[in-house]
Amino acid sequence: MSNNAPHPAPEQLALYQSDYCPFCVQVRIAMQELGLELEIRDTTRQPEHRRELIAGGGRGTVPCLRIDHTDGDTEWMYESADIIDYLRTHFG
């Protein structure tokens, strides 16, 4: 999905993350700066979310932003820098 795609609603997004992952911290800081509240799915404390991430995205690496597009497609965006760029582009 490119940054020119339609503006997503926060309800379409979920952040798979782990509290002590430094890359996840960077994403959460960016969210705070944007005043953006997203559903947080912690893969360490909630193993079902880790299973969901691996099943959908292909690997358990966090952070991963899940984007449920209005056309029914689900996108799994790994890489903290890409996630931060996406959030700033759409919610900045």
Given the rule CB under 6 A, which residues bind ligand GSH?
A: 21-23, 59-63, 79-80
Q: CB of residue 73 vs ligand GSH: minimum separation in angstroms?
A: 22
Residue 11 backbone dihedrals phi, psi, to 5 degrees = -65, -15
Any residues with CB less than 8 A from the CB of 69 and at least 6 apart, and which? 1, 8, 12, 75
**Beta carbon nearer to ligand GSH, 6 or 89:** 89
- Which residues lie across from 78 on neighbouring strands? 64
Nearer to ligand GSH, 9 or 81 (CB): 81
User: How does strand 74-78 pair with strand 13-17?
Assistant: unpaired
Tokens of 44: 């360490």
Task: State the minimum distance, in angstroms, from the CB of residue 91 to ligand GSH.
Answer: 19
Nearer to ligand GSH, 4 or 65 (CB): 65
Minimum distance of ligand GSH from residue 29's CB (angstroms): 13
